[in-house]
Amino acid sequence: MNIAAIHIGMRVLHPNHGIGTVRAIDDQSATVLFDDGIRRQVSPEASGLQPAEATASLSGLELPLAQLIEATVKAVADRLGIEQPNAVRDELAARWHGGKLVLHPADPTLSTKEMPLDAFFHKIVMMRNNLRTLEQKLNGSDKLTDTEKFDWQGYITRCYGSMTTFNVLFRRKEDQFNSKGGED
C-alpha cells in the first residue's frame, strides 16, 4: 500500500499483526495502533499493509467538491426525513413570520415564556410528519391484524384531530392536519 493512500484514523490490515488504526504518518512509515493494544511503526509498502475498510475513489469529477458534498448531505437528510428550517418556514403563513409564542402563567410570580413562532411551528410540522410516517408504517405492517391496525389508526386519527388547532399557522390548506387523519 502506498503511503499517500493512508490517512489518520484509517483502519488497516497488517498480514502479521492484524487490524489496527493509523495514528500518525511520516514520509516513509505509519504508526498504527493495532487491536491487540500495541502501537507499531510500519512501512506500508514493505509490510503489505492493506485497507481494512471499504474505500472510494472519485475520478473525472464533473462538479465542484462542495457541490458534491451538498448534494450528498441533502440526499441523506431527505432519506432520514430531516427537513431544512427554510423548508418548514415556507409552510408557515406569511403573517406569522418573525412572530413569537408567548405563554403567561396564571401565577404572577412566575415568568412569561417566549419562543420564536418559527421554532414552535417547526415542532408542529415535525409532529405532523412523524404521525404520517407512523400511519404509513402501521398500514404497511404485516405483523398486525386488521383489528389492531384499526385500533391504532383510531389513536392516530384522534391525534390529528387534536392538532387541527394549529392549522391556522399553515400557509396552504393541503399542509394542514385534518380530523380524519393522514392526507385528504
Per-residue pLDDT tens over the stretch 13-67 = 999 999 999 999 998 899 999 999 999 999 988 899 999 988 776 777 777 777 7
- Shared-domain flag, residues 116 and 164: yes
Residue 184 belongs to a domain: no
- Shared-domain flag, residues 33 and 99: no
Find the domain containing 105 and state its range.
81-175
* Number of domains forming the structure of the chain: 2
Three cell numbers at 1? 500500500
Nearest to 52 by CA among 72, 37, 32: 32
Query: Residue 91 has what pLDDT?
Result: 85
- Shared-domain flag, residues 157 and 91: yes
The answer to whether the CB of 178 falls within 8 A of the CB of 131 is no
- Shared-domain flag, residues 171 and 108: yes
- Shared-domain flag, residues 124 and 44: no
- Shared-domain flag, residues 96 and 165: yes
- Shared-domain flag, residues 87 and 47: no
Nearest to 96 by CA among 130, 68, 78, 122: 122
Residue 137 belongs to a domain: yes
Query: Residue 87 has what pLDDT?
Result: 61
The answer to whether the CB of 132 falls within 8 A of the CB of 114 is no
Q: Is the C-alpha dihedral spanning 85, 90, 93, 94 positive or negative?
A: positive
Q: Alpha helices of the chain — where are they, by DSSP H?
A: 44-47, 65-80, 85-89, 117-140, 146-163
CA 141 to chain centre: 23
- pLDDT at 180 > cutoff 70: no
